[in-house]
Structure 1
């Protein structure tokens, strides 16, 4: 039981850190870099990123974080694992909120961007960009903050686990 607790907690921490780092990278580099690009370039780049990101490695981190955190939380419920429950529960809630932001804001905006069609056929790329960029960036900042909170809480849970084992 102790090994399963530790392994699930480590896996949750790693996957959450990877996803939070991805969102952070978009916040501090990708989107600021695209801000200086032409409308067509920005739209085309985000359309391509939205296709490229749908792969097994991304899904392992994105879904894995939720599953591993939930598993770690469940495994820490009985007996002597309760010390880490508060940070684990907080990490789980923070990550679920990040997923909710993604589902309610980022994914619908990504879908609308895709529905705009090939960039060379878009008659008003500035309008497409305006409908997408500001809301997407703001939501991504929230996802970044929530994943960072989840990561910090998982790190705290690891410290409690290490002090307990």
Structure 2
């Protein structure tokens, strides 16, 4: 008697991978929007406007829908990688796993660098020039790195989705 790996139905894998693609794409879009429009736009404002706008943006983004997508962009590719690996679709699992690892790096940067800077900015008081100086020079390049990593994670989900129905080697 041979034991074979359980093969989740293609519809389940497609659903998980599609949800992963959507969440990862939405997160990449948020970071990209900050990289190409929000931060360059705010760079041309005075210190008070910059600090006030970032405080309001940081407060507004803390909501349930954002949280669901923020966590889903890690959980769903990771789940897809496990399901694909368990069903013998190693190449697809590798791509989904790579997406999860890349997005995990985004989360690490977010929690280790960006969130503390956001919290520091929220508590900075009314010395807007100092608050901006302490925030902008680190937050912007780290966000640019998050944009690149998240976009790479998104790009990994394409091959995972394309290979989800392959055999043991695919």
TM-score range, shorter chain: over 0.9
2:66 matched residue in structure 1? 58
Alignment of 1:9-158 (within 5 A): 9-117=17-125, 122=126, 124-158=127-161
How big is the alpha-carbon RMSD for the aligned residues of Structure 1 and Structure 2? 1.5
In structure 2, stretches of 5+ residues that fail to align are 1-7
Q: Describe the superposition over 1:88-134 as per-residue Cα deviations: whole angstroms up to 9, x where unpaired.
A: 111111000000010111000000001114xxxx1x21111000011
1:162 is displaced (CA, Å) by 5.4
Tell me, in whole angstroms, the C-alpha distance in 1 between the residues paired with 2:60 and 2:71.
Answer: 17
Count of residue pairs brought into register by the alignment: 160
Contact 2:89 2:166 in 1 (8 A): no
| CA radius of gyration, larger in | 2
Provide the secondary structure at the position in 2 that maps to 1:106: helix
Moved over 6 A (4+): none
Structure showing the higher helix proportion among its residues? 1
Contact 1:4 1:75 in 2 (8 A): no
Q: Describe the superposition over 1:18-39 as per-residue Cα deviations: whole angstroms up to 9, x where unpaired.
A: 0010000000000000000000
TM-score by length of 1: 0.92
1:85 is displaced (CA, Å) by 1.6
Tell me, in whole angstroms, the C-alpha distance in 2 between the residues paired with 1:82 and 1:105.
Answer: 34
Tell me, in whole angstroms, the C-alpha distance in 1 between the residues paired with 2:105 and 2:163.
Answer: 24
